[in-house]
Copies of this chain bind each other. A is one copy, B any other.
Amino acid sequence: MGRIQVNKETLSRKNIIIEKSAELFKQKGYKATSMREIADMVGVEAASLYNHIHNKSELLKIICFDVANYYMEMMNKVEVEIADSLHKIEKLLRFHIVTTILQYDKSHVAEREWKHLEEPYLSNYKNQRRIYRQRFTALIEEGINTKKIKSIDAPTAVLILLHSVSGIESWHRSKVKITAKQLEENMISILIDGIKQ
């Protein structure tokens, strides 16, 4: 997700369009968001958007793969940098939590709207997702074999870990109550205690 910058004024027009799209896709869903609404948010006419992007589905494609590629990079990094499997999982979870908080709109869209991708990107995305989960499952199994993790069904554990994180949205709306760091520590405490031996 290197494309994301904090200072909005340094964003290219194309990236402004992507940011606004992510915001609207998250709020209303991909199908319920019209190109005219995106254009309104950007401050141009709908026809002008097509000077920066090919079509609506390209916007979704960029958002989804931006997120998916980032998570795959984190997996690659963790695999080589950390030895202990439980530590690998904890590090990945922390990555997931922080990314979901910082890149709230895009994470939400990649998680909930990917089914509206067009072929061949749909198959491509589903494939990448399947591979990511397999690698995550392998980490859990590694932990079970080395007695760091209790004997549970590994795919079920992955399901719980990843879906817990993607549920962060509902907390996000009431962020008065707890800081991002506190949220992270609480989630890690519950989830790691839930799986460890």
| Residues in chain A within 8 A of chain B (CB atoms) | 28-32, 112, 115-116, 133, 150, 152-153, 155-157, 159-160, 162-164, 166-168, 170-171, 174, 177-178, 182-183, 186-187, 189-191, 193-195
Contact = CB atoms under 8 A, between A and B. Distances in A.
Contacts of A32: 31, 116
A56 to B, nearest CB: 13
Q: Which of A115, A182, A183, A190 has the most chain B CB atoms inside 10 A of its CB?
A: A190
Number of this chain's copies in the complex: 2
Q: Which of A29, A168, A183 has the most chain B CB atoms inside 10 A of its CB?
A: A29
B163 A178 contact: no
B29 A190 contact: no
A133 B183 CA distance: 17
Contacts of A133: 170
7 contacts: A153-B183, A155-B174, A156-B178, A156-B183, A159-B167, A160-B164, A163-B167
A81 B171 CA distance: 30
A24 to B, nearest CB: 12
Contacts of A30: 29
A160 B177 contact: no
A153 B174 CA distance: 13
Contacts of A160: 164, 167, 187, 190-191
A118 to B, nearest CB: 12
Given A29-B29, A31-B31, A193-B193, A164 B155 contact: no
B153 A164 contact: no
A174 B164 CA distance: 20
Given A153-B178, A153-B182, 14 more contacts: A29-B29, A29-B115, A31-B32, A112-B112, A152-B190, A156-B171, A156-B183, A156-B186, A159-B164, A159-B168, A159-B171, A160-B164, A163-B166, A190-B195
